Structure formats: C-alpha cells, structure tokens
C-alpha cells in the first residue's frame, strides 16, 4: 500500500455527523435504539449518539457483529452474523448504523435479521455510501457522504484490521 490521501477531514466528518443527527432527530422517535454494525461503525455510532443527544434524542446503543471481508479489499459475498442479535427488539424503533454501504449485502442482511425479531420501525444510516458498488437493492435512509468506487479507510473503516484509528477518512492509493 503506497499511501492514504485524505478524502474527508476530521472537521468535515464532525460537521456532517452533527447535521445528520439533526436530520435523524427530526425523523425518528426520540427514544430510539441504535444498532451499530461492528467493528467499522463503532466510532461513528459513538459520535452520532452524542450528536443525537445534542439534537434532543435519547438513543440507546447496541451492536451486531457481521463478517464478510476478512483481510481482503473485496467482500467474500457471504455475510455471517458473529454472535447474537440484541435481545428485546420486539416493538422497538431501531436505527441501524453502518460505517460504509458498498455492495449492500451487510446492511440488508442485518436489516432482515432485525425485522425477523419484530422491531417496531427500522431506519438505516451509513456514514459512507458507495451506490456504484451496489449488488443488493437496499435503501439507506440517512447518508453522511456518497462517494465513488474508491477504497477508503479511517474513522472506523479498516483495511485488514488497520487504519480504524485515523480521525479522517482517506482513499487508499
């Protein structure tokens, strides 16, 4: 890997997360359960939860862990649930949060799991959307940034478990 070029700075991300939280707070119930997809969405979920609080919402936080990439830059195409779906979902409004929607397989899989558990409303949110890469039709209700077909890391998103710690989102060159 030759380097990482900044695509969205830490300041740009912070500003967009605040705006996204305001939009979400106007749309979803005040008492919403946020379910982040691990590991990538952990950083985004934390910042979004605090921004939602500032916007007047009272989010609770849970996580689901999925696997499809392993150590590669391309998805294997097979999404697996690692562990269990959070308990007590029946009738609860849920905001499903992911760091990046690429093929659409992971968020579609997670949404199907949540709907099977009887959630009382389901909204989806992604910090990064790559619509050109979509292989599964999925609607994302709240999008931070839409990008082209480039491989990005940082702010929770990784390459072979590295670069999640970066405070910005960068393109792998």
Catalytic residues, by residue number, are 102
Instruction: Find the largest Cα–Cα distance for the chain.
Output: 48
What are the distances in angstroms from CA 140 to CA 41, 49, 73, 87, 144? 15, 18, 22, 24, 10
Query: DSSP letter at 144?
Result: E
Beta strands in the chain, from DSSP E residues, in sequence order: 4-8, 33-38, 60-67, 80-82, 93-101, 121-129, 142-146, 152-153, 169-172
Helix (H, G, I), strand (E, B) or coil at 107: helix
Of 71, 72, 81, the C-alpha closest to 105 is: 81
């Amino acid at each position: 890997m030759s380097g990482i070029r900044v695509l969205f700075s830490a300041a740009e991300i912070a500003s967009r997360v605040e705006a996204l939280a305001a939009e979400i707070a106007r749309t979803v119930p005040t008492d919403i359960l946020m379910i982040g997809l691990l590991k990538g969405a952990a950083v985004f979920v934390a910042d979004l939860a605090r921004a939602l609080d500032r916007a007047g919402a009272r989010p609770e936080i849970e996580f689901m862990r999925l696997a499809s990439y392993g150590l590669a830059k391309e998805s294997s195409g097979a999404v697996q649930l690692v562990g269990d779906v959070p308990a007590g979902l029946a009738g609860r409004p849920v905001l499903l949060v992911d760091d990046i929607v690429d093929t659409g397989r992971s968020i579609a899989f997670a949404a199907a799991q949540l709907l099977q558990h009887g959630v009382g409303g389901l909204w989806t949110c992604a910090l990064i959307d790559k619509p050109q890469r979509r292989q599964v039709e999925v609607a994302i209700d709240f999008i931070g940034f839409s990008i082209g077909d480039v491989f990005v890391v940082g702010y929770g998103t990784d390459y072979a478990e590295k670069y999640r710690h970066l405070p910005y989102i960068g393109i792998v060159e």
